[in-house]
Structure formats: structure tokens, C-alpha cells
């Protein structure tokens, strides 16, 4: 009976256009999340990864308050000068009295932790963006395997940073 079904099936071209629009939008959101994670991480990561020619040394943590720790800097690279006070983020520093390997940000008294712990900590924002992008890839793009890969890579990065900075 032809009159029983009054619903029309959407045309193939409009379905394809909607599907393409959804995939393009979710792909753009995923790319934006990942680029933002790299952008945020690069501020500290560049000093750890491209440390040739920068001042290397150790910082002895004397005092931590709020979100920063301070202490003296003892250079290990030739031509560097010792400093009585440098500043590091409290989350990368060890307990008061501990010593950490650091790289000085050029032209400042700020230091970033060096070595594997510093590298993983510097890329921590990217790890978070990988985990967030995995949700968009799974839900918005419907790609579960790549989503699992992104999520697990982000989780590994965040876990590695947590374990090496403690």
C-alpha cells in the first residue's frame, strides 16, 4: 500500500553533505585542541629540547610558596654565572632542600627542569589535549580505534610526567 508511509527518505546528496560537514567540523575541533596543546607546551618545552647554548646547572630548592619555588643556581655549563635566586614552578620542584637539574630561560631568572622529567613535564599540556581530543574523535568522528590511541598516548604522557617529577 503506497499511502501508508508518508515519510520521505532524505536524498543521498543532502545526507552526504551533512556527514561531510560533521566530519569537517569535528576534525577542525580535534586539530584545534591538538594545536592548542602543542602551543601551550612549547613555551617550556623549547628550553628543554633546544638547550644547546643555554645555561645548565642545578637549583637547590630553598623555599616554596604558592605556585613557585626559589633557590640558588649553580652552573654546570662554561661561561654561566652562579645566581643566588632563581624561580621554578612548584610542581616541577622537589621538596625544600632538594636539588634538581635545570635550564635557565634566556634573559630571566626563571628555570625549567631539564632531563627526562623536565621534558615530560613540559609536554604535559599536550598530553591533556591528546586525552581531550580522543573524546572528540570517538564521539564526533566515530573513530574508536584512533580515539583509544590518542587517549592512551595522552595518559602515558601524563602518567610519565607524574612519575618522573616526584
C-alpha distance from residue 4 to each of 7, 8, 30 (Å) = 9, 12, 44
Radius of gyration of the chain measured on its C-alpha atoms? 24
**Residue 34: predicted pLDDT:** 98
**Residue 24: predicted pLDDT:** 95
**Residue 95: predicted pLDDT:** 78
The string of pLDDT tens digits covering residues 35-79 is 999 999 999 899 999 988 889 999 999 998 888 899 999 999 888
CATH number assigned to the domain with residue range 52-113, chosen from the 4 options 2.40.160, 1.20.120, 3.40.190, 2.40.50? 2.40.50
How far is the C-alpha of 137 from the C-alpha of 149, rounded, in Å?
10
The string of pLDDT tens digits covering residues 84-134 is 999 998 777 677 888 999 999 988 999 999 999 899 999 999 999 999 999
Q: Where are the domains of the chain?
A: 24-48+122-164, 52-113
How far is the C-alpha of 74 from the C-alpha of 56, rounded, in Å?
9
Mean pLDDT of the 6-17 span: 73
User: In terms of Cα–Cα distance, which of 53, 109, 111, 60 is closest to 78?
Assistant: 53
How far is the C-alpha of 37 from the C-alpha of 35, rounded, in Å?
5
**Better-scored residue on pLDDT, 81 or 35:** 35
CB 73 within 8 A of CB 82: yes
**Residue 15: predicted pLDDT:** 86
DSSP 54: S
User: In terms of Cα–Cα distance, which of 127, 148, 159 is closest to 33?
Assistant: 127
Mean pLDDT of the 137-162 span: 96
Using pLDDT thresholds of 50, 70 and 90, give the confidence band for residue 151. Answer: very high
Mean pLDDT of the 133-137 span: 97
**Residue 96: predicted pLDDT:** 82
Mean pLDDT of the 143-166 span: 93
How far is the C-alpha of 141 from the C-alpha of 118, rounded, in Å?
34
Amino acid at each position: 500500500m503506497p499511502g501508508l508511509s508518508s515519510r520521505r527518505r532524505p536524498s543521498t546528496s543532502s545526507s552526504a553533505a551533512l556527514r561531510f560537514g560533521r566530519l569537517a567540523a569535528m576534525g577542525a575541533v580535534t586539530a584545534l585542541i591538538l594545536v592548542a596543546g602543542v602551543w601551550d607546551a612549547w613555551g617550556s618545552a623549547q628550553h628543554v629540547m633546544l638547550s644547546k647554548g643555554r645555561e645548565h646547572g642545578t637549583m637547590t630548592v630553598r623555599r616554596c610558596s604558592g605556585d613557585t619555588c626559589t633557590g640558588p643556581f649553580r652552573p654546570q655549563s662554561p661561561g654561566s654565572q652562579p645566581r643566588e635566586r632563581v624561580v621554578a614552578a612548584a610542581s616541577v620542584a622537589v621538596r625544600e632542600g632538594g636539588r634538581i637539574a635545570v635550564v635557565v630561560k634566556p634573559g630571566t631568572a626563571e628555570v625549567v627542569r631539564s632531563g627526562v622529567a623536565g621534558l615530560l613535564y613540559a609536554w604535559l599540556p599536550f598530553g591533556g589535549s591528546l586525552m581531550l581530543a580522543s573524546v572528540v574523535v570517538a564521539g564526533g568522528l566515530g573513530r574508536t580505534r584512533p580515539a583509544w590511541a590518542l587517549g592512551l598516548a595522552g595518559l602515558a604522557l601524563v602518567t610519565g610526567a607524574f612519575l618522573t617529577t616526584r
